[in-house]
């Protein structure tokens, strides 16, 4: 039964932790038994801490990547993103495909809407 009550130090300990979580689910026939909820919560928290420290997503290095990341993060479609940034959908499409550089107005909108530092944005252009 689960014995890990700490964040794993390496991938091997993480795999064991995940096996312990899976075992808790199997014991409960696909769900967590009431008496195992505390243990499950501790294991899940330890797994989440490890994942946040080890499995990081690098920051976007281009405007296109930044826009895609923000669309994913905010669960926006391209049309909604264009509206949020006060540009036409076709203009946003051209920028996101790399066919056109973003103008000052779009960069200002990205800065204002998402709080992205203007020096970071200028470095991406």
Task: Please give the pLDDT value at position 5.
Answer: 52
Asked if the structure places residue 74 within a domain, the reply is: yes
Examine the domain organization and report whether 89 and 111 are in the same domain: yes
Q: For position 110, which CATH number holds?
A: 1.10.260.40
Number of domain units in the chain: 2
Choice among 72-76, 87-91, 101-105, 116-120 with the minimum mean pLDDT: 116-120
Quote the CA–CA distance of 125 and 106 in Å, as a whole number. 12
Q: Which domain holds residue 27?
A: 11-54
In order, the DSSP letters of 75-88 are T--HHHHHHHHTS-
Mean pLDDT calculated for residue range 7-28? 89
> What's the pLDDT at 31?
83
Within-domain flag for 104: yes
Q: Are residues 47 and 71 in the same domain?
A: no
Same domain, 77 and 107: yes
Domain match, 109 and 82 both: yes
CA distances 30 to 4, 33, 54, Å, are: 21, 9, 28
Q: Once rounded to an integer, what is the mean pLDDT over residues 89-116?
A: 93
Question: Given this model, what pLDDT does residue 1 score?
Answer: 45
Pair (41, 73) in one structural domain: no
- Residue 68 confidence (pLDDT) above 90: yes
Residue whose structure tokens are 């990547």: 65
For the ranges 17-21, 28-32, 101-105, 110-114, the lowest mean pLDDT is seen at 28-32
Same-domain check for residues 49 and 78:
no
pLDDT reported for residue 99: 94
What local confidence, expressed as pLDDT, does residue 30 receive? 82
N-term to C-term CA, the chain: 53
pTM: 0.58
Q: Which helix (H) or strand (E) holds 4?
A: none
Q: Say which residue the tokens 């051209």 belong to.
A: 94
Count of CB atoms situated within 10 Å of the CB of 36: 18
């Amino acid at each position: 039964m689960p014995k890990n009550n700490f964040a794993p130090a390496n991938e091997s300990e993480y795999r064991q932790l995940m096996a312990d979580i899976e075992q808790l689910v199997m014991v409960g026939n696909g769900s967590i038994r009431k008496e195992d909820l505390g243990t499950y919560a501790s294991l899940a928290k330890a797994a989440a801490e490890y994942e946040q420290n080890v499995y990081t997503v690098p920051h976007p290095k281009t405007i296109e990547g930044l826009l895609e990341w923000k669309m994913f993060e905010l669960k926006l479609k391209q049309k909604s993103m264009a509206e949020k940034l006060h540009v036409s959908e076709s203009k946003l499409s051209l920028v996101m495909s790399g066919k056109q550089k973003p103008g000052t107005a779009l960069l200002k909108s990205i800065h204002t809407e998402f709080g992205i530092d203007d020096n970071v944005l200028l470095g991406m252009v």
